[in-house]
Structure 1
Amino acid sequence: MNVRRSILIVDDHQSIRDPLATFMRRYDFDVDTACDGLAMRQLLKDRSYDLIILDVMLPGEDGLSLCGFVAEHIGTPVILLTAMTDQADRVAGLEIGADDYVLKPFDPRELVARVRSVLRRGARRRADDAAQAAPTADVSAEKRYTFEGWSFDLTTRELQDPNLSPVPLTTAEFHLLRALLENPNRVLSRQQLMDLTQREGDAFFDRSIDTQISRLRKKLESDPRQPRMLKTVRGDGYLLAARNISLAP
């Protein structure tokens, strides 16, 4: 028996919000709706959702601010609905924490497909989390990276800052940091990073790497706007320029 997945649709236009909710219910989703950020925050206090469909242009608190709040405090996947056609604006949405975006006007069937894709990725990450957390008898295989006072345990997936404080990582961030540490001082393109970090069947597009890099910078860098370790090589990709990288059992 399939479990119905819960979705919250946030859009100030009732002419979009209500028909979309009806359409999504036809595909066996459990759907709630909100007309603005205040209503959305109230619903999130009362229940959790598997995914949020969030309009960018909302009255009051806009969708980008709400998306950042969800990414930082809740972790629910977000698909942005946006009329912004500029690539830089769409990338900004991804960098702030969105998992995907759909341009308005949109075909609701495409939105359903993207919702299913994001939910599948989330299910694979949870399965990967469970596999990573499972006990293993091969204690000798435990390894730990150290770099510039940081400590990154590949077995427990724990990252500690130079003050020995734990820094939580998502599954995607864990795989990305590992790939960068395995290729220090080497420029890696988006495609190379996707090949190194994604399991077979994942449907990430290359800009999602930008999103994960941005999130990782916020955790590693004292000033993410002027990164010292995790650098962008314009037109080529990304480079981990951390010093004193070592790997030990």
Structure 2
Amino acid sequence: MNHVLLIDDDVELVGMFAEYLEQEGFRVACVHNGDDGARAALGGEYAIAILDVMMPGTNGIEALRRIRAGSRIPVLMLTARGDDADRILGLELGADDYVAKPCTPRELTARVRAILRRTQATQGDGPGALITVGKLAMYPEQRRVTWDGVPVELTSTEFNLLEVLARQAGRPVSKNELSEQGLGRPLARFDRNIDVHLSSLRHKLGPLPDGRSCLQTIYRQGYQLIRE
């Protein structure tokens, strides 16, 4: 699964990225508008989509909204440097990560590899790898989650982060560790990725019997998945 979908209206930039990715062993398809990009991403042919926020017509945010309505394909957003509003909105809508433009092809490729490495890391696990914490059940081989027997739809990155917390349930996990293990990269200064993804997970997972969220922020230590 190394087929990459590049969605960006900047033809010259897309050509440069595509050439570098292909040299690194990826197959690349390029689309230059949000409508066609969303349709292609929903087709099931690609391992990951790289989606630019700023496009005329259907922009990247709307395209992401359409993709997430029907697919959990990993999505890496390309955002303007310093544009925190689009970046956070993209993460809240289900983007897995972002790269700020301008960026180098090498940086983009490294981020793609990190996402795919985490997404595909559990493919060799056996069925005995089930993880349970209270009402939470995780099936790493299938990348499937249930809460009290009810399926929970997670993005690739949300699954990765929850798996890290579930394997260490009952103890705080630092944001640095979550970024390294869940995103596949060191935590950058002022990076709010982890916070946004964990906020989304809180909304998707059920409460504990006493009404608290099962995901707790531990002051100056990180996040903790509570054992019942």
Q: So what's the TM-score if we normalise by structure 1?
A: 0.66
Whole-Å Cα distance in 1 between the matches of residues 58 and 72 of structure 2? Answer: 19
For the pair 1:117 / 2:111, whether they are aligned, the reply is no
Counting matched residue pairs gives 214
Corresponding position: 1:167 with 2:152: yes
Give the corresponding residue for 1:58: 55
Task: Measure the CA separation in 2 of the matches of 1:144 and 1:23.
Answer: 41
Alpha-carbon separation, structure 2, partners of 1:155 and 1:103: 33
Rate the CA distance shift 1:59–1:143 in 2: closer, same or farther, 3 A.
closer
1:1-249 correspondence runs (5 A): 5-71=2-68, 73-87=70-84, 89-127=86-124, 130-131=125-126, 133-134=127-128, 145-146=133-134, 151-153=135-137, 159-161=146-148, 164-168=149-153, 171-178=159-166, 181-183=169-171, 189-191=174-176, 193=178, 198=181, 203-206=184-187, 207-220=192-205, 229=213, 230-232=215-217, 237-238=222-223, 246=228
Distance in 2 between the 1:143 and 1:52 partners?
A: 29
What are the Cα deviations for residues 40-59 of structure 1, in whole angstroms up to 9, with x where unaligned?
Answer: 12323544201111101122
Per the alignment, residue 139 of structure 1 pairs with none
CA 69–90 in structure 1, closer or farther in 2 if over 3 Å, else same: same
Question: What is the identity percentage for the equivalent residue pairs of Structure 1 and Structure 2?
Answer: 33
Please state how far the C-alpha of 1:12 moved relative to its aligned partner: 1.4
- Matches of 1:9 and 1:219 in 2, distance apart? 29
CA distance in 2 between counterparts of 1:155 and 1:12 reads 38
Distance 1:78-1:143 versus aligned 2 partners, 3 A rule: closer
Q: Deviation per CA, 1:40-84, whole angstroms, max 9, x where unpaired?
A: 123235442011111011223322333344455322222211114
Instruction: List gaps (5 residues or longer) in structure 2.
Output: none
How far 1:10 moved relative to its partner? Answer: 0.4
Q: What is the distance in 2 between the residues matched to 1:113 and 1:143?
A: 29
Aligned equivalents of 1:109, 1:13: Cα separation in 2: 18
Task: Deviation per CA, 1:107-145: give whole Å up to 9, x if none.
Answer: 222222222232222221433xx33x248xxxxxx9854
Structure 2 residue matching 1:122: 3-state secondary structure? helix
List runs of 5+ in structure 1 lacking aligned partners. 136-141
Change (3 A) 1:155 1:107: closer
Answer with 1 or 2: which has the greater Rg: 1
